[in-house]
């Protein structure tokens, strides 16, 4: 079985590559268009099954930074699509300590705590990301492995909405946003710490594989 992996950022690709060295990996850049191009790239390279991998934003009140998610289903465009749990097991990713439940696909970054609370109330999805819905609609077998990078209780700095560039963090865009609004610096530093915690948590989970 040829595995294709869709991630949002190059840092996520570097994290999963050693675990599946023979898999084809595509990077979406955290946009729906990028995710669609990524899935087509994976198809062209012969992928028979897909893994959506990387970070997610917490929606439920009990979701904490560093929590590992192996969702049962993805909600995208009003459709509930069931994940292939057998595929997750075949890949050796169904380990103890991961949470199940639903994952919400969003085409835009969900950065406000009020919006996270609304989505939790409306959908009962534990987390949100920007790739898994496209993977779910691909028609191929798929599963999802995500880690919470920000919880539902706080707003993210405005810089988050404009820092992605070609699948990597754009320091130029960060600097531009901070020049325009330097009050973001403490929240951005906290977000960086949360991102490190999330990477460490996922690395530990993958290390048990």
Query: Which residue is it, tokens 């988050």?
Result: 160
Q: Where are the domains of the chain?
A: 3-155+196-207
- pLDDT tens per residue across all 209 residues of the chain: 999 999 998 889 999 999 999 999 999 988 899 999 999 999 999 999 999 999 999 999 999 999 999 999 999 999 999 999 999 999 999 988 899 999 999 998 898 999 999 999 999 999 999 999 999 999 999 999 999 999 998 887 665 655 554 445 555 455 555 445 666 556 666 767 788 899 999 999 999 65
Of the candidates 88, 12, 79, the one whose C-alpha atom is nearest the C-alpha of residue 50 is: 88
Residue range 3-155+196-207 in CATH 3.40.50.300: no
Q: Which residues lie closer than 8 Å to 24 by C-beta, 6 or more apart?
A: 2, 3, 4, 5, 41, 42, 45, 46, 47
C-alpha–C-alpha distance, residues 79 and 88, integer Å: 21
Residue 82 tokens, joined: 């069931």
């Amino acid at each position: 079985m040829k595995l294709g992996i869709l991630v949002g950022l190059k840092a996520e690709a570097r994290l999963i590559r050693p675990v599946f060295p023979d898999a084809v990996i595509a990077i979406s850049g955290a946009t729906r268009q990028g995710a669609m191009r990524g899935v087509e790239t994976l198809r062209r390279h012969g992928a028979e099954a897909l893994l959506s991998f990387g970070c997610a934003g917490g929606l439920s009140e009990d979701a904490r930074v560093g929590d590992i998610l192996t969702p049962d289903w993805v909600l995208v465009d009003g459709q509930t699509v069931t994940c292939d749990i057998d595929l997750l097991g075949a890949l050796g990713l169904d380990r103890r300590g991961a949470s199940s439940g639903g994952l919400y696909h969003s085409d835009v970054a969900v950065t406000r705590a009020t919006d996270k609370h609304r989505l939790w109330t409306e959908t009962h999805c534990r987390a949100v990301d920007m790739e898994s819905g496209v993977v779910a609609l691909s028609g191929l077998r798929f599963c999802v492995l995500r880690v919470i990078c920000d919880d539902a209780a706080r707003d993210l700095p405005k810089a988050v909405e404009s820092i992605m560039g070609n699948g990597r963090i754009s320091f130029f865009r960060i600097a531009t946003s901070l020049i325009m609004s330097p009050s973001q610096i403490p929240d951005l530093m906290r977000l960086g710490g949360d991102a490190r915690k999330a990477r460490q948590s996922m690395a530990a989970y993958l290390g048990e594989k």
